[in-house]
Chain A
Amino acid sequence: MSTNTNDILVQGKHVTKSYHGNVVLEDIEFDIRRGEVHSLVGENGAGKSTLVKIITGVTPRNNGEVDFDGHELPIDFPRTFVEKLGIAVIFQELSLIPGLTVAQNIFLGREPKLGKTRLIDKKKMVTDAEAIIKKYNFPLDPKAEIDSLSIGKRQLVEILKALSMDSKLMIMDEPTASLNLKESKLLFDIIKNLREEGVSILYISHRMEEVFELSDRVTVLRDGQKVALLDREEISPERIISLMIGRDLSVSDYEESVLKTVSGDTILEVKKLCSEKKFSDISFSLNKGEILGISGLVGSGRTEIVRAIYGVDPITSGSVLFDGKEITPTVKQSISLGFGFVPEDRRQQGVFMQLPINKNICSTNFDRYTRMGFVNEKGEDAIAESGINMVSIKPKDPNYIVGNLSGGNQQKVVLAKWLVRDLSILIIDEPTAGIDVGAKDEIYSVINNLARKGVGVLLISSDLPELTRLSDRIIVLREGKMIKEFKDQSITEEEVLRASSGLI
């Protein structure tokens, strides 16, 4: 195929982006041809979303150039400009307005007007919406309010909205995450049709089988760098996965970890745990001193399960046994039983950003430094100080506002607030997301030390090297179900990723 500039819709040259000195995209070269499905793959944090944000002007690039349809794009620009260019984006998080109808959402901001007035022609809007819905054969009612629709249907509305714009480029970020099989099929047919019509599609997905089925070309990102550009005939799920992980598996066995079950008393047992729509029939046990890794893609139900065990979200059926006794989890009880909970979203759920380090650390410990409701300030200071020292938070100043700490130190604060208690179980969700390498190692040694002291650890991580290295046993979830358990064997990151992606 000739690479005449006319064939190329989007061209990126030397695109670079860093946040606070952290390089998230380094000198990326890419192009998207007219009428191709181009997939963008990589592990979490590889830089996929950042690249999309740069193409759509949401995030300004630090360096480099992006050409669209022969014109260089400015560094950042408003959403209306994106639409004018002919770029439609289907984001993972829905951007629909809940109180409005399907038709109102599809034509939001571009409503048909009554004659020359500025009033909306409601009738025309509904008939136009009907026409589009019929064209793509979606099971939707244009007059239905978004509130009344399932998540999958909402996603379809989002897709319709993008389709109605007659775009040259459609960017789809995990579009099938909330679609059922039938809806996904519908989407794939549409994608194939769009390609026929000459529309380019930038497709982002964790699901290898989709990437494999749809893509004309695949760009693989790893740690902010482009590691490969594969043509149709070079694409295979295995190839992509090994590129994503980044080492040629045949060359060294360095990344092979050995799993060995830690024998000890069972501290936690979960039997046939179910929660409406989120997960079902989950059973596993955790021994004292064991690190149990929980793997699964985003949306596999891994976070929901640990939240239910900790007592945040309700359980619809099944049982949780602590030390052999059945419990009905509530947060208060979990804490008194010695649970610690480090949530996935550190900034929104783990710390109090506006409060100082000491108030953060002491927020789980009121029972230990108050008497008759009054604070014993010496006791409080002692707890804060011991927490700061346990995980070496920098700076050591207990009055330092947590919001001004680095991500790694914020995470240490979250750890510290549990470490100052006598833990029996630590639940830790994405312990090192967005944290620099040095702090990562410190956090690993904290987790390992806890396990050595007999604490049972439930570890969730999308970072596969982290998961395989730390875990004694790994269970894999997919779409709310447990699909595999790895134990007493040697294991590679690739095997875990294959299992999570449903490629067993």
Chain B
Amino acid sequence: MIPKLFHKYKLLFILILMAAVLSIISPRFLTKENLSNVLWSISIVGIMVSGTIYSPITSGVDLSVGSLAALSGVLFAKFMITFGFGLIPSILLTIAIACTIGFIHGLIITRINVPPLIITMAAKTYLFGIAMLISKGEMIPIMEPSSFMAIGGGKILGFPIPIFIMVIFILLSHILLKKTAYGRKALAVGANPVTAELSGIDAMQIQTIAYILSAFTAAIAGLVLCSISQLAYALLGQGLELEVITAIVLGGTPLGGGGFGTVFGALIGTVMVGFIGNGLNLMNVPSSFHPIVTGLVIISALALNENLRMGSGTKLKKAKL
């Protein structure tokens, strides 16, 4: 019974273990202020994880989300400040454009059969290019309206608002994956696209929607990032895609589908990455060492996770490789 329980919640156990170790190392770790800081620092990645997770679930990947978040910020700033479109229209327009870009990527991947890794890697570059072009490579300061600035700066119950946005998106994504036909179909397509097609599931449509979802959350993350940093800048989102993918994989959703996927797992993965950085800061490890330690911890966490997974019904996948 206990091994089974451990098995099901192993990620949570690993996370708690990390927290325990960190709280022993530093008494400052387990304070509301510190935990709130950690969650705040991961909220952008967390928001992006909630939508980007559907590309690996449907056996693809989306590496364009970082650049798309930056582009969204730049577009939003242009619409609102340069064109004076007003807050809500600017937000809606930005989201619509981002979703269209995701839709086009999805179409290229499913209809023209370009590997998702290639197309989204290219997109990472060209979207960054467009953001640079529009912003002329400059930072665009955003100081108002106050309602928008409150997103990044305000607090509820003592916690920064971006944390709540992240929690809402994670919950919505969890519901989408576990309680809707789309989630069921996405897992099925990831498990076996041929069987899915023969069962009447439109695999191409399901995969295309996955890229719209990742684009959607990239846009949201881009907007929140604008509000937090009080500026739009083409370089702001660079590298976020790798943090997002790391969190997803760390959370137990394998790249390449296979019928697996867990949004809460991905959230735990995101928090783990946050804990590592936070722990290093609390221990006063010089920041030049952070990437090395982060990399090593991620590798060991993955190795541990993979080993645990082999105990369950996933030996098959191993055997196929």
> Is the pairing of A and B real?
yes
Residues in A lying within 8 Å of B, measured CB to CB: 310, 312, 331-332, 335, 341, 343, 348-355, 359, 362-364, 366, 370, 373-375, 377, 401, 403-404, 417
With a CB–CB cut-off of 8 A, which chain B residues contact A366? 181, 184-185, 201
Count class of interface residues, chain B: 20 to 34
**Minimum distance in angstroms from A221 CB to a CB of chain B:** 28
**Minimum distance in angstroms from B127 CB to a CB of chain A:** 30
With a CB–CB cut-off of 8 A, which chain B residues contact A352? 188, 191-192, 195-196, 259
Residues in B lying within 8 Å of A, measured CB to CB: 179-185, 187-188, 191-192, 194-202, 258-260, 313-314, 316-317
**Minimum distance in angstroms from B183 CB to a CB of chain A:** 8
Most buried by B among A335, A362, A363, A364: A363
Contact of B198 among A349, A355, A359, A403 (CB under 8 A): A349
Question: How long is the Cα–Cα vector from A129 to B41 in the complex, in angstroms?
Answer: 64
With a CB–CB cut-off of 8 A, which chain B residues contact A362? 184
**Minimum distance in angstroms from A422 CB to a CB of chain B:** 14
Check B188–A363 contact: CB distance below 8 A. Answer: yes
Contact of B195 among A310, A349, A375 (CB under 8 A): A349
Check A359–B188 contact: CB distance below 8 A. Answer: yes
**Minimum distance in angstroms from B188 CB to a CB of chain A:** 5
**Minimum distance in angstroms from B309 CB to a CB of chain A:** 11
**Minimum distance in angstroms from A420 CB to a CB of chain B:** 12
Please report the number of residue pairs spanning A and B whose Cβ atoms sit closer than 8 angstroms.
80
**Can you show 14 pairs from A to B with CB atoms below 8 A apart?**
A349-B195, A352-B196, A352-B259, A354-B258, A354-B260, A354-B314, A362-B184, A363-B195, A363-B199, A366-B185, A374-B181, A375-B179, A375-B180, A375-B184
Question: How long is the Cα–Cα vector from A377 to B194 in the complex, in angstroms?
Answer: 25
Given contacts A348-B192, A373-B181, A374-B179, contact A331 B200 (CB under 8 A): yes
Given contacts A312-B197, A417-B199, contact A370 B259 (CB under 8 A): no
8 closest cross-chain pairs (CB), A and B:
A401-B313, A354-B259, A352-B191, A335-B200, A370-B181, A403-B316, A363-B199, A364-B199
With a CB–CB cut-off of 8 A, which chain A residues contact B183? 375
Check B191–A355 contact: CB distance below 8 A. Answer: yes
Check A351–B195 contact: CB distance below 8 A. Answer: yes
Question: How long is the Cα–Cα vector from A312 to B194 in the complex, in angstroms?
Answer: 10
Q: Which residue of A lies closest to B200 (CB)?
A: A335
Q: Which residue of B lies closest to A400 (CB)?
A: B313
**Minimum distance in angstroms from B5 CB to a CB of chain A:** 16
**Minimum distance in angstroms from A281 CB to a CB of chain B:** 26
With a CB–CB cut-off of 8 A, which chain B residues contact A351? 192, 195
Question: How long is the Cα–Cα vector from A310 to B316 in the complex, in angstroms?
Answer: 30
